[in-house]
Amino acid sequence: MDFLLHIIALMGMMLPAILGYNLIFGRGKILHFGPVGVSVMSAYAGVLALTATQSFVLGGISALASALIVSTFFAWLSLKLEPDGLGVMSIAVHLAILAVVLNWNGLTRGALGIPRVPRMPFLDSVADFALLSVMIAACVAAGMHHVDRSSFGRKLRALAEHDWHARSLGIDKAYVHFTAFLIAGVCSAVTNFLFPQYLVLLHPNDYQFPALVFTVMLVVAGGPGSVMGVTLSTILLVSLKEALRFVPLAPSVLGPVRLMLFGAILFVAVWWRRDTLFPKARSV
């Protein structure tokens, strides 16, 4: 029962960040590979503020503010760079932030991570986290469905389908990109404020390159832009990821096997959805 609650808690905590990324990468077709960079910045800012002040309000504000700052920077890059340049630069920013975390030992404790992260008073058990995370995930999913159906969602789809034509019709690309990235930043802050409290530990290994592979895989496997599809893929693949812990392999072997498995799933999903991910530009 505890394992089932653990999976439910993980799915609920991860879903806001995944749906936020789906809005950018899936619906907007913006070649952005920096969601984990936003996550690591948000998580460390929130936990450092929380441990220093013992105030969950200040910790939450710090997590949110840092996520919005980094998201704003990525939105600015998306307007200044070509799609492939943005993809490379977003990965570089993620790795740069992670390098700072790993080497600023006096503040972040480097590769040791930050232990004994305080929990909010009403989060004493796995069941509490599962209940809260499911409620938050349901609200975020409903909100994302509304955004997708709104005029903003239509503008984002128009820019994704034909950037030049959409702008010629008066769609403000800067407004749409900044709004999409900020919405994703808020979702990331929610996930990364709860996740360290659940583990009672903030460790940089949770924000390495495999985390990016897993995030992209969830969006691609679920159908880029589909709120329901990405929600289902998150449920299934998070369950698979946690179930692999019971495979009788040494940790040194299980890690690479898990990465190769998810890499293969990502490859198959990209190949299967290649026409959706890389649509041909319309011509007259």
pLDDT tens digits, one per residue of 112-164: 999 999 999 999 899 999 999 999 999 999 999 999 999 999 999 999 888 88
Cα separation, 70 vs 34, whole angstroms: 9
Mean pLDDT of the chain: 89
**Per-residue pLDDT, 95:** 94
Each domain of the chain, given as residue ranges in start order, spans 2-208
Higher pLDDT, 277 or 39: 39
Taking each helix axis from N to C terminus, what angle separates 83-103 and 56-80, rounded to the nearest 10 degrees? 150
- Count of all residues that appear for the chain in the document: 284
What string of DSSP letters covers the chain?
-HHHHHHHHHHHHHHHHHHHHIIIIIIS------HHHHHHHHHHHHHHHHHHH--HHHHHHHHHHHHHHHHHHHHHHHHHS-HHHHHHHHHHHHHHHHHHHHH-HHHH-GGG-EE-----TT--SHHHHHHHHHHHHHHHHHHHHHHHHSHHHHHHHHHHH-HHHHHHTT--HHHHHHHHHHHHHHHHHHHHHHHHHHHTEE-GGGGSHHHHHHHHHHHHHH-TT-HHHHHHHHHHHHHHHHHGGGSS--HHHHHHHHHHHHHHHHHHHHHHTHHHHSPPPP--
pLDDT score of 189: 97
Confidence label for 19 from pLDDT (cuts 50, 70 and 90): very high
Q: Which residue has the higher pLDDT, 199 or 255?
A: 199
In degrees, rounded to 5, the angle at the alpha carbon of residue 35 between the alpha carbons of residues 32 and 39 is: 160
Query: Is residue 183 within 8 Å of 23, Cβ to Cβ?
Result: yes
Please say if the pLDDT value at position 105 is more than 70. Answer: yes
If one counts every other C-beta atom within 10 angstroms of the C-beta of residue 91, the result is 17
Answer yes or no: is pLDDT of 280 > 60: no
What pLDDT, on the 0 to 100 scale, is given for residue 283? 54
Instruction: Specify whether the CB–CB gap between 278 and 161 falls below 8 A.
Output: no
Which tens digits make up the pLDDT trace of 225-250?
A: 899 999 999 998 888 888 777 766 66
> What residue has token string 């900044």?
178
Number of C-beta neighbours around residue 247 at 10 A: 10
CA torsion 270→275→278→280, rounded to 10°? 170
pLDDT in tens, 155-193: 999 998 888 888 888 899 999 999 999 999 999 999 999
Say yes or no to pLDDT of 67 above 80. Answer: yes
The pLDDT-based confidence of 14 (bands split at 50, 70, 90) is: very high
* pLDDT score at 200: 93
Q: How far apart are CA 130 and CA 119, in angstroms?
A: 14
Q: What is the pLDDT of residue 252?
A: 65
